[in-house]
A and B are shown apart, each in its own frame.
Chain A
Amino acid sequence: MTAVTTNPAAETLEGSSARRARITGGILIALALLVVFVLDVGAGSVATFKLTTARDAVQVGDLVVPGQFNYIAAAIIAFLGARQFLRGGGKWTSLSIGLGLALAVMAFLVWATADKSFNLTGMLQATMVRAIPIALGGLAGVLSERVAVVNIAIEGMLLAGAFTGALLGSVLGSWLGIVGAVAIGGLFGLMLAALVVTYRMDQIIAGVVINLLVLGLTSYVTSQVLAKPEFRHLNNAEVFRSWKIPLLGDIPVIGPMLFNQNIFVYGALILVAVATYYLFHTKGGLRARAVGEHPRAADTLGVDVYRTRYLHVTLAGMVAGFGGAWFTLGSVGRFDENMTNGRGFIGLAAMIFGRWHPVGALMAALIFGFADSLQQKLALLNTPIPSEFLAMAPYLATIVVVAGLIGKARPPAADGQPYVKE
């Protein structure tokens, strides 16, 4: 008969986190090599980062970084990579790759700016601006996926918001433009809720249908009506200007980024704060999360699952509608066909990256916004890398994030599943 072996000598097994540690180790080493050989600045040159402009009230000296910085960065990245090989795993894996990528980006900036000067504050301000539609899209995603409705339609809701904002903004003024954009976003949210909650349509298909519907409608009206000279005044809204908060706006570097922006930036920051408070510190938020995790349990305790889903998906639509208005009322004042250009999907990636948390989604959106504005500014610096390649950077980052290379995120347990009452 068999003896029972309970505790033989411990042997090492390669599990999935060990494998992930090995892969990130490899990526980090490759990154270090890239920094040393490709981004080699040379010890003699320096990169100058301007922190303030002549017009600013508070003046701060320029940040001058010598070329040796890149060697140090490469050494640290290589160390992190080697550490992953030797005893990686756990939370160090995500932390290491985050730190490594940040250092590589810094090294890249130093390399690109070598012997030139670069307005860092300006780029951070642009980062915030470009992050806003993504953050609002991500927040819309958080609101609907927390009640277990997958919202692919965010792209369409953004586009509808942008269009309505421009049209109503031109006719009735920019403030009513925003109101209209929020309303139309909410309307499409309500439509998605009806399709997936009441009619139990496949959530992905319902979302795609809404996206195509909005794209078709807005493109048709734009090319057939708004493009005609006699209707041009219908697509020419006044743009919201930046409004600088006294004192706070004068803080060097972060002042312009956080406190010298237009209503969309302030609105998004407030919405993220409110959503965080709501989801995690109120009774409504607790019920909403319960509906997303275990709808049957919520139902047996008297929480109306259908009503909760309708409410939150509609709210998500309103948030996305507000984000859509940014494209027209917060930026150029006029609507162009398909001008959201996939930002809604990037918003969904930000939601996953941010682990279904409003603040996480905002942080992820800032990373995407950073990549986006970096590409814009670098075009000015005349780097040898083609700007088309840089334009791909945010999307490459999205693939990396969504593929789960940076740790595993856990969606709400019932995400995507329709709820059928007994």
Chain B
Amino acid sequence: MDVELRGLTKRFGPVVANDNVNLMIRGGEVLGLLGENGAGKSTMMNMLSGLYTPDAGEILIDGKPVRFEGPGDGIAAGIGMVHQHFMLVPVFTVAENVVLGVEPTGRLGYLDLKKARAQVEAINEKYGLHVPADALIENLPVGIQQRVEILKVLFREADVLILDEPTAVLTPQEVEEFFGIVKGLKEAGKAIVFITHKLHEILAISDRISVLRQGRITGEGDPATLDEEKLAEMMVGRHVSFTVKKTPAQPGSEMLRLDRVTLLDDGDDRLLDNVTFTVHSGEIVGIAGVQGNGQTELVEVITGLARQNAGKISFAGDDISTLSVRERHRRGMAHIPEDRHRMGMVDKFTIAENMVLNSYYDEAYAAPFGSVNWNRVHETAAAFCVDFDVRTPSVFLAGGALSGGNQQKMVVARELERQTRLVVASQPTRGVDVGSIEYIHERLVRSRDEGDGVLIVSSELDEIMGLSDRILVMFEGRIVAEFDNTGGKADRNQVGLAMAGATGTETVGGTAA
């Protein structure tokens, strides 16, 4: 089945999310769609699945124009979406999730789960997916959950599969396996649209590549004639460097020490299990790992948002195990949280207010009768914006009105514009444009060079590999491996294996204690 987009346009208020997009999707072919966050990839795919209706242009299936009115229409026409955020009911089994909406039934609306299971097994068999039909989703690793999503669209007899950032949650080895599945689907005649912002992946799997920038197709080509550099230029619109410039680390005194830190959840499972490591001043330590292996909890315990059940945390030689969040902060710990909307900023506050969320109580802002000296706040915020390249017409604008990259730079500015000794940065560049990523990375390296200890937690392995002087890998709440990454010498493959829980990779690279 071939799908053609002709002059597709979609506006949200004054914002043109898709501007006259032309695209050809062919059966038996993998089309790589490359674009930054906010380039309009998701809008385009939502129009293809029927979630949005285009303002102009048309969609043609095998040459015939079609019109989608609702979310069910895309799949009915044979176009299936695998969303970036899984659309699975965690307490249902695989079979229940797959058949939901098109259930095989008997008399009296009886749900024929036996038949459902058999149908799931048949698809499993045909495409080599190996998904246990009776397992509960919540007990499956994310890699398998993703296959359940693929099962869902195959069950609905989709001929076009749109995969939205499918590798974001996978380890490098799982990505290899996943590519195997994609190739199998392609050979079975399915059309695949592979959406990503990762350059090496798109080169590895695509038969054709289209690049989207600011809602327009800005480049098209054959992967054989393209390389990462050319693609990056098409994606960002200027020359960019993805390698972080930094000199070898000069580790100094010990800044942070975790000593057998353990954290339990309500059911006594160990979210953190005897975590022990150190961060020295003047070095960047990166925590690699697939999301959900305890990284969030680790940051919460270090910053004081959660209290460990056992173990000790020291900061610059002092035991801070029981200190409050503010006290840790006062001693020079900066925290760039993983989800800025939930923890890093107040969307409806102005930029100025957001800039002083961690310091409004300072002497510097004190005014008579316990009120805040707002003039001082506004001056400071304006200075921070200049310093950290936060692009805004005014500090009186709501923080939520900024672009993702500027929001994140605002959070980074607030955390770093003071005397710091330790920077804890969690997913520091999630949902941020390439320009801002470069800038934030540069600032983190600068903090290191000024003698701070820097701890970076990221699920983007490239980010960890590029920034860290030392890499620790977390798996199921434990630190399972450590790599020396001086001069980028850690082996990406080895790190990937450790992320998947492979043992026997401890202290690779000659940094044995």
A8 contacts B by Cβ under 8 Å: yes
Nearest CB on A from B274, distance (A): 6
A297 B267 Cβ-Cβ under 8 A: no
Binds B, one of A12-20, A63-71, A199-207, A344-352: A12-20
B385 to chain A, nearest CB (A): 32
B306-319 interface mask toward A, CB cutoff 8 Å, 1 = contact, 0 = none? 00011000000000
Q: Knowing A2-B276, A4-B506 are in contact, say whether A290-B89 is a contact too (CB < 8 A).
A: yes
Evaluate contact between B96 and A16: CB separation under 8 angstroms.
no
Q: Does A307 contact B (CB under 8 A)?
A: no
B358 contacts A by Cβ under 8 Å: no
Interchain CA distance A379-B87 in the complex, whole Å = 56
The answer to whether A283 touches B105, judged by C-beta atoms less than 8 angstroms apart, is yes
The answer, among A1, A18, A287, for a CB contact under 8 Å with B268, is A18
State the Cβ distance, B174 to closest chain A Cβ, in Å: 22
Contact of B277 among A2, A8, A300 (CB under 8 A): A2
On chain B, which size bracket covers the interface?
35 or more
Contact of A290 among B71, B100, B479, B482 (CB under 8 A): B100
Most buried by A among B109, B265, B511: B109
How far apart sit A291 and B266, CA to CA, in the bound complex (Å)?
26
**Hey, what's the 0/1 contact readout for A168-205 against B, CB within 8 Å counting as 1?**
00000000000000000000000000000000000000
Tell me if A302 and B72 are in contact (CB < 8 A): yes
Instruction: Decide yes or no whether A250 CB sits under 8 A from chain B.
Output: no
Query: By the criterion CB–CB under 8 Å, are A5 and B274 in contact?
Result: yes
Closest to A278 in B: B109
Q: A14-B309, A294-B89, A296-B87 are in contact. Are A4 and B481 (CB under 8 A)?
A: yes
Q: How large is the interface on A (under 10, 10 to 19, 20 to 34, 35 or more residues)?
A: 35 or more
Known: A13-B310, A282-B111. A422 touches B51 (CB 8 A): yes
Indicate whether A286 reaches chain B with its CB closer than 8 angstroms. Answer: yes
Q: How far is the CA of A14 from the CA of B309 in the complex (A)?
A: 8
Q: Tell me which of A18, A290, A293 has the highest count of chain B C-beta atoms within 10 A of its own C-beta.
A: A290
Q: A297-B87, A300-B87 are in contact. Are A286 and B100 (CB under 8 A)?
A: yes
| Cα separation A284 to B111 with both chains bound (whole Å) | 9
B111 near A2 with CB under 8 A, answer no
- In the complex the two chains form, is A283's CB within 8 Å of B83's CB? no
A224 proximity list for chain B (CB < 8 A): none
The yes or no answer to A269 lying at the interface (CB within 8 A) is no
Cα distance, A296 to B506, chains bound together (Å) = 41
* Mask of B90-109 contacts with A, CB within 8 angstroms, 1/0: 11100011011111010011
Chain B residues near A13 (CB-CB < 8 A) = 262, 264, 309-310
A16-B268, A286-B96 are known contacts. Are A1 and B513 too (CB-CB below 8 A)? yes
Once the chains bind, are B267 and A17 in contact (CB under 8 Å)?
yes
With A1-B511, A15-B268 already in contact, the answer to whether A293 and B101 are too (CB < 8 A) is: no
**How far is it, in angstroms, between the C-alpha of A8 and the C-alpha of B511 when the chains are bound?**
21
Asked if A2 and B278 sit within 8 Å, CB to CB, the answer is yes
Enumerate chain A residues within 8 angstroms of B99, measured Cβ to Cβ: 286
Contacts of B470 in A (CB 8 A): 1
A-B contact pairs, 28 of them (CB 8 A): A1-B511, A2-B276, A3-B512, A4-B277, A4-B506, A4-B507, A5-B276, A15-B265, A15-B267, A15-B309, A17-B266, A89-B268, A286-B92, A286-B103, A287-B100, A289-B89, A297-B89, A298-B100, A298-B101, A300-B51, A301-B72, A301-B101, A301-B152, A302-B70, A303-B100, A408-B266, A422-B46, A422-B52
